[in-house]
A and B are shown apart, each in its own frame.
Chain A
Amino acid sequence: MLEDKFTELDQLFRSVIEGAEEQVPSGLWSSISDHLDALIAPLAGAAGVAGASAVASSTSTSASTAGATGTAASGAGTAATGAGTAVSGAATAASASHIVTAVVVSTLAVGTGVGSYFILNRSEEPVPEPSHVIEVVEPVPEEMPADTIDFVTAIRRVSPPVQPEPPAAEPDPVQPEALEVVEPVRERVPSRTSRPRPEKQPRVPEAKYRTFSFDLHLVPEFAGIRSGADPAAVMAYNPLAVDRQVEILQDEKSRFKMPVSRGIGLRFYLSRRWSVGTGVNYTKQERSFSGSYALVNPDGTRQKSTPARFTNEQVYVGVPLTAYFDIVQAPKWNVYAYGGGMFEKCLHDRYRAEARNGKGIHYLRQDVKGIQASLNLGAGLEYKIFDPVGIYVAPGLRYHLPRNQLNTMWSDQPLRFHAEFGVRLAW
């Protein structure tokens, strides 16, 4: 026979693959455990509510056993009633978990027509009336090229008979429905959309991976604040007299306030682990120093200088572009690495000069043109408090790319360490 020559091939595969073992991905068990917990927890509450039944506690044990097996065997929607009474009857904690499991089973069965669709028949009976089934199937055209296409379409059409099965839930009543389902195969119309899709009721809180997240964050910037060199003489101007330049000189090193950037972020998942994000950040940089200022004449000469105490504030608005890679995706935790860049524009650069001799306070400005670009790299740790809210911390390094304009606080210490603290909503 034609198939004989493949015996060797079959044997090869069977001998090597049957019973083989694979390394199980780590974290899978905790994921499963969480799902099982999630299934039981809300139902325990529901069980209490359902406990209005008149089942006496004396019959609780037998009722619970019957209820458990009954629901397990039937997998029918109405079996929930049976489970409900069983639950109410067995208020004793001892068998509570068993009962809850029964409720879980029946509820799952309710929620999943498809689950019960494949449910294993406990009696292991031979297929009821297979001849009927085959008869209907055969007209599926043999002439159709015995190609994977038909196979595929056929698989698609294999559908649960009806979503909730008849309460009796004997194998027999299912048969007529099986026939009905097979009939449409002739039409060759994908019937997926018309088929009830009970399993969309999350029978299990589905382990869906993220698609999108939104966060609010604060980013204090550590280290790198103590600068070496301060900006050299700064030429500013009084906004009320823009044509008159004012030269500012520093007597001492600047003292910096720790910049804290605020922002929002959006993240879009491209695949299970990869996502890209953007957002908007607002950063205020402040420093103070003692120095003096002097008006500059049009010919370049300076007028008398006035000692003053200065504070300088620069405000930047930035748009980051970041790529993220989720290293660990657990139900409660997420660990990721990220890298990206940011483009920032200075909104204003203001000086407040308070003359020492009490001669008044002047506000001066400088124009910082251009875009400050930076690159960053870091990792993040996220903890999900409750769906979808989580908090996170993401330390990282940022390197400010050199620019022509030197009058920013980053030119002397371009590489800085920061940490992002935030709240993230993830779906």
Chain B
Amino acid sequence: MQRFLGNLHLHSRESQASQHHAVAGTKDMRVPNLIELCKQGDRAAQKSLFDTLAPKMFSVCLRYMGDRAAAEDVLQDGFITLFTKLDTYSGEGPFEGWARKIFVNTALMSLRKTDALSLSDDIDIARGVGDGVPTPVQSLGYKELMKLIAQLPTGFRTVFNLYVLEGYSHKEIAEALGISENTSRSQLRRARMMLQDRIKKE
């Protein structure tokens, strides 16, 4: 069960997405060499990889953790894990996808460890879907959407991230988090409802 996120066959949507947003063609060819250098501990190569990956991965960490300080910690831990476990990257699939899984996993571990999931807040917020101030559609840029995600209770946010943005199925999410598929579906539904609620629709 716990291995599944690693075993996961990337949802086709995710593969497309990461390739669409992934480094450009020529850079793809350079990446494998860069990885080799990183594996050997070449610090300059590692920094170069960091510079390429960090901005995207920080965005990923932010949307899981919801707050900046925690996201920075996850980003740091994630990179340390990435560099020390670089040997396990087999070369199959895009590197960015592999890297992203590390950060998602690190974020999930951190969420579990820090016990930041405060139950009462979740209940109150969950019950009170509809007390958020709706965001006008015009202002829905990256910043606003990230803020909306951060405002979700942790459970909703995690499932939303995993399903909508990472592309896992409910079955896969259920196995990863140790919940039932129905719980996963209901978390997602309520996350969407809350988001919808906060986005004003004309």
Q: B-contacting residues of A (Cβ < 8 Å)?
A: 2-3, 6, 9-10, 12-14, 16-25, 28-29, 31-33, 35-36, 39-40, 68-69, 71-73, 97-98, 100-102, 104-105, 108, 114-115, 117-128, 130, 133-134, 137-138, 140, 142, 146-152, 154-158, 160-161, 171, 174, 178, 181-182, 185, 199, 204, 207, 272
> Is the pair B178, A182 in contact by a Cβ cutoff of 8 Å?
yes
Q: A16-B142, A28-B75, A32-B79 are in contact. Are A127 and B88 (CB under 8 A)?
A: no
On whether the beta carbons of B164 and A20 are closer than 8 Å, the reply is no
Chain B residues within an 8 Å CB radius of A174 = 3
Please name all residues of chain A whose beta carbon is closer than 8 Å to the beta carbon of B122 when the two chains form the complex. 147-149, 152
Q: B126: shortest Cβ distance to chain A, in Å? A: 6
- 3 tightest CB-CB pairs across the interface, nearest first? A19-B21, A21-B55, A120-B6
Compute how far the CA of A190 lies from the CA of B186 in the bound complex, rounded to whole angstroms: 23
Q: Could you pull out 20 A-B pairs where Cβ atoms are within 8 angstroms?
A: A6-B192, A10-B164, A14-B17, A16-B141, A17-B149, A22-B58, A33-B43, A35-B80, A71-B87, A108-B85, A119-B6, A120-B102, A121-B7, A142-B182, A146-B186, A148-B187, A151-B155, A174-B3, A178-B1, A178-B2
Residue contact B6 to A118, C-beta cutoff 8 Å: yes
Bound CA span A275–B62, Å:
26
Encoded as 1 (CB less than 8 Å from any A CB) or 0, chain B from 47 to 85 comes to 100110011101100110000010011011101110111
How far apart are the CA atoms of A177 and B186 in the complex, in Å?
28
For B90, the chain A residues whose CB sits under 8 A away are 122-124
The interface on chain B, measured as residues whose beta carbon lies within 8 A of the other chain's beta carbons, has a size of 95
- A18-B142 Cα distance, complex, nearest whole Å: 10
Q: Are B88 and A120 in contact (CB under 8 A)?
A: yes
A157 to B117, alpha carbons, bound, how many Å?
Answer: 13
A-side contacts of B102, CB under 8 Å:
120
Are A20 and B87 closer than 8 Å at their CB atoms? Answer: no
CA of A6 to CA of B160 in the docked complex: distance in angstroms?
12
Q: How far is the CA of A23 from the CA of B71 in the complex (A)?
A: 12
Beta-carbon contact of B6 and A121 below 8 Å? yes
Does the CB pair A151–B187 fall under 8 Å?
yes
Q: How far is the CB of A137 from chain B (nearest CB, A)?
A: 6
- Contact A125 B41, beta carbon cutoff 8 Å: no
Q: Are B154 and A148 in contact (CB under 8 A)?
A: yes
Residues of A within 8 A of B43 (CB): 33, 36
Chain B residues closer than 8 Å to A134, beta-carbon distance: 171, 174-175, 181
Q: Decide if B178 touches A36 in the complex (CB within 8 Å).
A: no
| B202, CB-defined interface residue at 8 Å | no
- Among B7, B51, B145, point to the contact of A124 (Cβ < 8 A): B7
Q: Is B115 an interface residue (CB 8 A)?
A: yes
- A155 CB contact (under 8 Å) in B4, B55, B177: B177
**Do B183 and A115 touch (CB < 8 A)?**
no
Complex Cα spacing A160 to B126, Å: 29
A123 to B90, CA, bound (A): 8
Other-chain residue from A16, A133, A148, A204 in contact with B156 (beta carbon distance below 8 A): A148
A104 touches B175 (CB 8 A): no
Complex Cα spacing A29 to B57, Å: 13
Does the CB pair B155–A152 fall under 8 Å? yes
* Supplied contacts A32-B79, A157-B178, 6 more A-B pairs, CB within 8 Å: A17-B59, A33-B46, A39-B84, A137-B180, A171-B3, A181-B2
B15 within 8 Å of A by Cβ?
Answer: no
- The minimal Cβ–Cβ distance linking B88 to chain A, given in whole angstroms, is 5
CB distance from A193 to the nearest CB of B (A): 12
Which of B40, B89, B183 interacts with A150 by CB under 8 Å? B183
Contacts of B5 in A (CB 8 A): 118, 120
Contacts of A31 in B (CB 8 A): 76
Q: Which residues of B contact A40 (CB under 8 A)?
A: 41
Option from A21, A120, A152, A178 in Cβ contact (under 8 Å) with B117: A152
